Amino acid sequence: MSMRVLMALLIASVLFAVAPAQAEQAASPPAPEYGLPINAEQAKAAAAAALAEARRNNWRMAVAVVGPEGGVIYFEKMDGTQNASFQLATAKARTSALFRRSSKVFVDQFTAGNVAFMTFPDEARPTASEGGLPIIVDGKIIGAIGVSGGTGPQNGVAATAGVNAVR
């Protein structure tokens, strides 16, 4: 195959992979603006609700709550939770705060074949794992919660409980 044909195929494959993401962005409403940062009391309430949901279901989980800039405000890990969950919960929360959306969006994009976000620099790369959600109060993002230790859907359920405790 000639170099021109290979380049054309490469360009076409990149455009094909990016098209679903661009179509989703065009159809979705704009992300909420950032508000004042979550305070320690709100962060603890979010974590407590997520961990209560985990205990009800016999899941061992770690929960991280970050401010809108992605800095950790609160972290708690249940006894027996896998050690990797500290980094994963924090990364999911940070992803949701910095990108103003659920970390599951990146799971869906990855599953659809769009891996362009994997080329971002390490400090800006989102975590494509369910369990990170923005915390929105009065229509503004005040922080985010990240949960790790269970399956993706389990992490999502616990994170939702945490978000709902702050609203």
What ranges do the domains of the chain cover? 1-30, 32-166
The class level of CATH for 32-166 reads: alpha beta
Taking only the tens place, the pLDDT of each residue in 88-104 is 999 999 999 999 999 99
pTM (predicted TM-score): 0.82
Taking only the tens place, the pLDDT of each residue in 32-75 is 999 999 999 999 999 999 999 999 999 999 999 999 999 999 99
What is the Cα Rg of the chain in Å?
18
Show the tokens assigned to 114: 């769009």
